[in-house]
Each structure stands twice: as C-alpha cells, then as structure tokens.
Amino acid sequence: MYDKVLGVLGGMGPLASAQFMLRLTLLTPADRDQDHIPAVLWSDPRIPDRTRAHRPGGEDPLPALLRGIEGLKQAGCGAIAIPCNTAHGWYEPMRQAAGRPILHIVDAAAADLRRLRITPGKIGLMGTAATLAMRLYQERLSSQGWDCITPDADQMERFVTPAIALVKANRVADAYEPLATVANDLAARGATAVVLGCTEIPLGIQAGPAAGLHAPVVDTIDALARAAIAWANG
C-alpha cells in the first residue's frame, strides 16, 4: 500500500491535468483501490498563461503557481508533479518554495527516452513557443547526448501553436493533423523520436491514428506519471 501523497499542480490546461490523473491511475500496477497512489489535484485554470508571460506586458504566473504549491503543502503532499511543460520555466523558485521534491518533466521525458531505447543522437522536440525559447529541453537533454531539432517559425505559427489552442478549446480531434504534420517533418529531418513537450500535444496526437506517425513519440504526460509512480515506490 502506498503511504506517500502526491500533489499535482494542474489546470494548465485542465484537460491535460485530467489526462495526467487518468494515466497515473492506468499506469499504476494495482488490483484494488488501496493499491493506487494517494493524490491531491490542485487544478487552477486561472493561473496566467505561461507563454504570454514571456511577451511584453504578460502577467507573471509565479504567484499563482506558488499559491498552488502552498495548497498542496498544506494538504500533506510529499512530492509535486506539474503536468505543464512551460510552467517548468519557473522550476527553481517553485522548488525553493516547495521544500519537497518537484518531479521535473524534462527528466521524466529523458527517462522515457531511455525506456524506449532511443539512443543518444538527433531527436525532435515539439512544445509551446515559450518552452522552446527557454530551452527547457535542449539544455537538459543535450547533457545526456540528445540533440534536439525543433519546428521552424512558420511551422510553429501555422501548425503547433494553433493546434495547442484547439486542444485547450476542447477541439482535440482537429489538432491531430497539424501536429502529425510537424512530427513527421521532424522525423524526415532525421529525428529518431519526437518528444511531445507540451501536455496538450499528446492529446491531439492521440486523437488520430498512431500509424500516421513516422517516428516514436514521448508523451510527457505518461512520462511524468511514470516518474510519479517511481517516486511513490521509493
């Protein structure tokens, strides 16, 4: 029986947080209710947009993120998972405020690359414009031997950013085609796998046929769920 309580700082977006809870449950080896991981979901969609925060005049999301962390601390959570990639741009001040582990989504993705036996080399990376600009993945993965290639500016503007917005608007099925187009272009450029570095992107990709993809993908929702299960197992 698990005796560690996991905190989930969510709402970024709400559907991605709900999917994280679903995948956490489905990926946990369990035969009964009591075999699952106790978890508290703090889903606050009022947290200011993380990508807009990097534009002139954008509202800082850190106070709202810290408010959520404090709520999870008060609930007795022993570690925190954040199913939002861009929010990890504020990882250090959140970690300092938490006083307990915050499972880093990029480290979880790296573990999933190893699980899939993706050897060091060229991989694709999709994410929000802010995640790519902050180089959250590029810096952390390059130290482990993976060279990230990313969509160009035109692909971001025409395909990736609108598709993320479609998922946030609950038009998940409409997001598949533009996201698959970009993922397949990264594969054509030599990527041996594609990291879906925004938690809306896996939802869009899963809305269409897996056979339409030309390279394996790393679902960062699943990767973070696996990291949470590993933490709960000690």
Cβ atoms of 63 and 71 closer than 8 Å: no
Strand arrangement, sheet containing 122-127: 147-149, 122-127, 194-197, 217-219
Q: What is the pLDDT of residues 83-99, one digit of tens each?
A: 999 999 999 999 999 99
Q: Are strands 122-127 and 102-103 parallel, antiparallel or unpaired?
A: unpaired
**Structural domain containing residue 115:** 106-220
Same domain, 75 and 113: no
Q: Residue 34 sits in a domain of what CATH number?
A: 3.40.50.1860
Q: Work out the angle at residue 151's Cα, subtended by the Cα atoms of residues 146 and 153, and round it to the nearest 5 degrees.
A: 135
Task: Provide the 3-class DSSP secondary structure of residue 103.
Answer: strand
Does residue 90 sit in the same domain as residue 159? no
In a domain, 1, yes or no: no
Residues 111 and 186 in one domain: yes
Inside any domain, residue 147: yes
Number of domains in the chain: 2
145 and 99 within one domain = no
Condensed to tens digits (0 to 9), the pLDDT of residues 113-144 reads: 999 999 999 999 999 999 999 999 999 999 99
Judgement on whether residues 98 and 116 belong to the same structural domain of the protein: no
User: Global pTM?
Assistant: 0.97
CA–CA distance, 182 with 186 (Å, rounded to integer): 6
